[in-house]
Amino acid sequence: MKYLIAGLGNIGVEYANTRHNIGFVVADALCRDLKGSFSVDRLASVCKVKHKGRTLVIIKPTTYMNLSGKAVKYWLEKEKIPNERMLVVLDDIALPPGMLRMKARGGDAGHNGLTDIIIKLNTDVFPRLRIGIGNDFPKGYQSDYVLGQWTRSEEKLMIPQVEKAVEEIKSFVTLGIDRTMTAYNNK
């Protein structure tokens, strides 16, 4: 069985340690945990690894956040992976920093990367792992906040949460979304 894990973010050093790139951070951590490495391929950096008899195709789209759907659709079709075996990993300002929330479907909640994926796939029925980055910004400064660097205290908080996200993704591919949501969403 194959799974697509799509960590969302923006390419380029200027975005490397920003809140909006937490999907890339988790994708990197998952690839490292499973002893893989990324290589640049069509529309994404790609890491293919095995975990408990399953193949994980981990991607970090190189299309920039707002065009993430192009890369996600391409890799779903190329690898012949159904939507229910895809997990999109992204930041969420509606959740407190570090909170992890897995969902089987849902709207875009104003997240442009998720909006593009929903448009390109013509459905909002696919699993996603939202990672809280908080919303500690004045009205009108959301873009500056999400594209801003982590503070030291936020980094300390996020490091163990990235490790938890990796465990949650491994649970998703082995136990499925329902059992994973039951095990992790209330923690």
- Tell me the whole-structure pTM to 2 decimals: 0.96
Closest residue by Cα to residue 104 from 90, 82, 86, 81: 86
What is the domain extent for residue 155? 2-184
Q: How many domains does the chain have?
A: 1
Supply the CATH number for residue 12's domain.
3.40.50.1470
Model confidence at 102, pLDDT cuts 50, 70, 90, reads very high
Summarised one tens digit per residue, pLDDT across range 164-175 is: 999 999 999 999
Q: Which residues are catalytic?
A: 20
Distance, C-alpha 163 to centroid of its chain: 13
Rounded-to-integer distance, Cα 126 and Cα 149, Å: 29
